[in-house]
Structure 1
């Protein structure tokens, strides 16, 4: 198995972490089996100064509480009917996080197909799709990403990364144009 990423890895700035997570492997060891996906797309959310972030203006609620904690904690929330997984970044009391937006399946592909009833890129080319395929639920909220059952291990650093605006945040004023989305160039599992 590849090297488990240490807690210190998540202490970098949120924009830096968004890029650094590309190429790493997200792992979930569930009772049904193990699934692994290479992270191919992320989005950064810069908390207090980012109108698209749940913690904009220091908004501290039951839902956002873990964002104010230490980096490397999992922040899950439901959008529409989908659970989305984020990793808290930066430092304590700076409520920022990175959304894992898409993965390329590596291991446990049959289990992913069973959970999603989909094939090919439709399996994990979006944040709600990947969590369903990997069996990640709201139960992960507040867990630490550096230990099972959900964790991230090292993987090859991509040589070509693209940067652009985030997706699906049209009602967030000028923040909808911020270049806080990162993806591996020409990877077919990128959401758009």
Structure 2
């Protein structure tokens, strides 16, 4: 029986789940008890075995990607080109779909996040590897853990509402693949912590949030 928290991550299309995560609050509590975090401003949906950009495309299953086949709401923490990235596992167990967290607006202990990254400004967390480093995560230790009970978690009850959500194709995938140009990337329009956003596209007044 899935918990109420887990049910948030299944029972509807992965693209819809990816959109609904925008504005939700991610926090990470380190072993020394310090907390970092921020609002999700950019996500990408990966649709499993039939998605040419997915780690599970054509049924590919390895020890490394095994967490993708776990319960909805679990963490898939993987390394690419020496950097760590973070997906939320979605859909039922054995259905390897996920949502990549691509951009984060820092709101919890930004000073520590700056120390973790050795960098400030919008480059602090405007990319999937950047935000993981800014949170203070430097290993795959949490891979496969449920967000609901993990030091890395998403608060589904708090956050902010985007004024407008922009949909585009995903970044960094093989554009020649059959799904390379599918519109599976979602972000808060104008938020300066969205990866690759040009200055003229940034809304520096309210960062694209309502209220």
Within 5 A, what are the aligned runs for 1:93-104?
A: 93-104=94-105
What TM-score does the superposition give when structure 1 sets the normalisation length? 0.94
2:27 maps to 1:23? no
Equivalent residue number for residue 162 of structure 1: 166
SS across alignment from 2:179: helix
Equivalent residue number for residue 6 of structure 1: 5
| Structure (1 or 2) with the larger CA radius of gyration | 2
- TM-superposed CA distance for 1:172, in Å, is 5.3
SS across alignment from 1:138: coil
- TM-superposed CA distance for 1:171, in Å, is 5.7
SS across alignment from 1:178: coil
Residues 70-122 of structure 1, C-alpha deviations (whole Å, 9 max, x = no match): 10110011110110000000111111000000100001111111111111101
**Alignment length (residue pairs):** 188
| Deviation >4 Å, runs of 4+ | none
Within 5 A, what are the aligned runs for 1:10-159?
A: 10-11=9-10, 12-32=12-32, 33-136=34-137, 137-153=139-155, 154-159=158-163
Contact 1:52 1:172 survives alignment (8 Å)? no
CA distance in 2, matches of 1:172, 1:97: 21
More helix by percentage: 1
What TM-score does the superposition give when structure 2 sets the normalisation length? 0.85
Q: What is the root-mean-square deviation of aligned Cα atoms in Å?
A: 1.3
- TM-superposed CA distance for 1:7, in Å, is 1.6
